[in-house]
């Protein structure tokens, strides 16, 4: 799967992160990573659903406001870039609802550790610390978010999105530390009303990443990423989408 940044596309950050020394060291400590050098197994689940506003309200009341929409697709894929073109991705398991294609695209890449610099913006603040970890909060300029999936976001100037709330956790101890263990970004809710215009509103949006070092080379590799979103179009239809991708069984295939 391509990065969640393909679902939530960010413009280039207006300014680099001005973090304290620990966070700066962690962000820079990803190691030499190339997607062409790592084979892995990816397990992806997606949930999607939609209904009219009236139907959505009834459905949510029945199942709970934050209930996840129906499972739409589940697949396990083994990716090996050392294989010939056309043989690099193999679907080990695929389950889908009606009209959902579980085929994969060999050009898709996982989110890279270096991409976290696009998210950790402004001046992150240290909000908690233990001997093993440090937690930072930061704000992501919502004007940097310009697309979710295939939908361009057009936010009214009189009803702009507030800054997205970001949290980054730095692992301070252990081999190959420090490194950013997780990053989560969420749009502050506004009573479920959403923000946007008559064409489209963002009702809920959050996404996150987790990383860990490969035990021999120390390269920080993605372990999981996920996304939850709820979009309303034309004031009539609400579309909910959730994604969870877990990555394991990394193997170095570079030279």
- Report the alpha-carbon distance of residue 42 to residue 40 in Å, rounded: 6
Count the neighbouring beta carbons within 10 Å of the beta carbon of residue 77.
21
Query: DSSP assignment, residue 16?
Result: -
pLDDT at 242: 84
8-55: pLDDT as tens digits: 555 444 444 455 899 999 999 999 899 899 999 999 988 776 544 434
Query: What percent of the chain has pLDDT above 90?
Result: 35
| Cα angle value 227/97/50 (rounded, 5°) | 55
Q: What would the mean pLDDT of 141-158 be, rounded to a whole number?
A: 53
- Report the alpha-carbon distance of residue 29 to residue 14 in Å, rounded: 22
| CB contact at 8 A, 166 and 120 | yes
Give the model's confidence band at 160: pLDDT under 50 very low, under 70 low, under 90 confident, else very high. Answer: low
Q: Which of 22, 39, 18 is nearest to 181 (CA)?
A: 22
- Report the alpha-carbon distance of residue 132 to residue 172 in Å, rounded: 5
Domain spans, the chain = 4-252
162-215: pLDDT as tens digits: 788 899 999 999 999 999 999 998 877 666 566 555 556 677 778 889 999 999
Higher model confidence: residue 102 or residue 240? Answer: 240
In order, the DSSP letters of 188-232 are PP-TT--EE-SSEEEEEEEEEEEEEE-TTT--EEEEEEEEEEEEE
131, pLDDT greater than 90: yes
Q: In which residue are the tokens 């996920």 written?
A: 226
71, pLDDT greater than 80: no
| CB contact at 8 A, 37 and 254 | yes
Query: Which range has highest mean pLDDT (84-88, 95-99, 103-107)?
Result: 84-88
Q: What would the mean pLDDT of 150-173 be, rounded to a whole number?
A: 71
Task: List, in sequence order, every residue forming a beta bridge with 139; answer none if it has no partner.
Answer: 165
Contacts of 31 (CB under 8 A, 6+ apart): 113, 176, 213, 214, 217, 218, 219, 220
Number of helical (H) and strand (E) elements in the chain, helices listed first? 3, 14
Give the model's confidence band at 241: pLDDT under 50 very low, under 70 low, under 90 confident, else very high. Answer: confident
pTM of the model: 0.77
Q: What would the mean pLDDT of 71-75 be, rounded to a whole number?
A: 80
Please tell me the least confidently modeled range out of 100-104, 129-133, 245-249.
100-104
**Average pLDDT of the chain to the nearest whole number:** 76
132, pLDDT greater than 70: yes
Higher model confidence: residue 57 or residue 143? Answer: 143
113-123: pLDDT as tens digits: 998 887 787 78
Give the model's confidence band at 102: pLDDT under 50 very low, under 70 low, under 90 confident, else very high. Answer: very low
Task: List, in sequence order, every residue forming a beta bridge with 135; answer none if it has no partner.
Answer: 128, 169
């Amino acid at each position: 799967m391509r990065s969640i940044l393909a679902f939530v596309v960010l413009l280039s950050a207006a300014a680099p992160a001005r973090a304290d020394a620990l966070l700066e060291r962690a962000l820079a400590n990803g190691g030499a990573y190339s997607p062409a050098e790592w084979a892995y197994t990816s397990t992806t689940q997606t949930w999607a659903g939609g209904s009219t506003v009236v139907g959505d309200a009834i459905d949510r009341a029945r199942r709970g406001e934050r209930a996840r929409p129906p499972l739409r697709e589940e697949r396990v894929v083994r990716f090996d870039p050392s294989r010939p073109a056309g043989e690099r991705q193999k679907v080990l398991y695929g389950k889908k609802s009606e009209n959902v294609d579980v085929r994969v695209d060999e050009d898709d890449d996982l989110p890279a550790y270096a991409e976290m610099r696009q998210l950790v913006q402004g001046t992150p603040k240290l909000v908690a610390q233990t001997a093993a970890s440090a937690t930072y909060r930061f704000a992501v300029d919502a004007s940097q978010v310009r697309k979710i999936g295939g939908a361009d976001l057009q936010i009214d100037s009189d009803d702009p999105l507030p800054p997205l709330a970001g949290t980054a956790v730095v692992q301070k101890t252990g081999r190959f530390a420090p490194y950013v263990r997780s990053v989560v970004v969420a749009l502050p809710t506004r009573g479920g009303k959403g923000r946007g215009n008559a064409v489209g509103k963002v009702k809920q949006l959050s996404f996150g990443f987790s990383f860990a070092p490969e035990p021999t080379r120390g390269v920080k590799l993605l372990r999981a990423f996920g996304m939850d979103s709820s979009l309303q179009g034309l004031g009539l239809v609400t579309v909910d989408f959730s994604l969870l991708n877990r990555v394991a069984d990394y193997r170095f295939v570079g030279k």
